[in-house]
A and B are shown apart, each in its own frame.
Chain A
Amino acid sequence: MQYDNEMRLEFLSKSSNEAFARVAVAAFASQLDPTIEEIADIKTAVSEAVTNSIIHGYEENLGIVKIFAGIKDNAVDIEISDKGKGIDNLEEAMQPLYTSKPDMERSGMGFTIMENFMDKLEVQSIPGEGTRIIMKKVILSKKLTP
């Protein structure tokens, strides 16, 4: 896929980087002139994916979280990946309200939010190797140039 613009980010799986990650991706996507609601959707979905990598992927040990974002026409593709422990049962993990960490007061709504707020969600995970979240957001407010 040939993108019109691309960016890459790499950071340590520290919870203090959650805000940095969502703001950086939202700032990159802002060149498509999204509405406030579209920006909020992107920030929330990125925050969910990055939090999953930190809490579940690396189980709060240090690792690297990578983000790629690419703009093509009026859409932004976002990939968030980690080399953490992976997800054993993807179907179960993606069910609304399912959480493997209820003791941490996790709501189990992360994947449901990503699915609802973005136009596409794909989860690739290999147990023991890591997880990659691929999302797409179509920016409807973007006026296509003739």
Chain B
Amino acid sequence: MDLEFVKELNTLIVKINCELDHHTSDSLRRKVDSEIQRYMPRNVVFDFEGVRFMDSSGIGMVMGRYKNIKRYEGKAVMASLRPEIKRIFEMSGITKIIPQFTNVAKALESMQGGKKDAI
């Protein structure tokens, strides 16, 4: 499975389990958008633990979903990024609006106002 969805309270966790390039990001984008449409979550966490490679296509994928969720005052964050992927996001400057966390638990904590949810 390239993509797994977990719903945690009002947050949709999008677990990406494939390389993220121009080829894969097209179909990922469609699947994530339709899941957001279906669940209407307030916030989205992108879990990058299963992403071994990413190029600049990943920036566009995350940024596009952020723009959608922002319309409903929601937040988007990223979790569990490898150092080389972290560096690509930092270079683009989007980490200022879409923060990065070391793991999904910490990402959820940041959005639930410090309340820790079991995952």
Contacts and interface: CB of A to CB of B under 8 A. Distances in A.
A109 B88 CA distance: 9
B22 A107 contact: no
A110 B57 CA distance: 9
B29 A19 contact: no
Contact of B92 (A16, A22, A37, A107): A107
B29 to A, nearest CB: 7
A19 B21 contact: yes
Contacts of A43: 53
A54 B88 contact: no
Chain A interface secondary structure, helix, strand, loop or mixed? helix
A64 interface: no
A116 B91 contact: yes
Interface in A7-21: 15-16, 18-19
Task: Assign chain B's interface to a size class.
Answer: 20 to 34
A34 to B, nearest CB: 13
B23 interface: yes
Interface stretch (B36-44, B60-68, B95-103): B60-68
Contacts of A116: 91
Given A107-B57, A113-B88, 14 more contacts: A15-B22, A18-B21, A22-B53, A37-B83, A41-B84, A51-B22, A51-B56, A55-B22, A97-B92, A106-B56, A106-B60, A107-B92, A108-B56, A112-B91
22 contacts: A15-B21, A15-B22, A15-B23, A15-B26, A19-B23, A37-B83, A37-B84, A44-B53, A44-B88, A51-B21, A51-B22, A51-B56, A51-B57, A55-B22, A105-B63, A105-B64, A107-B56, A107-B59, A110-B56, A113-B55, A113-B88, A116-B91
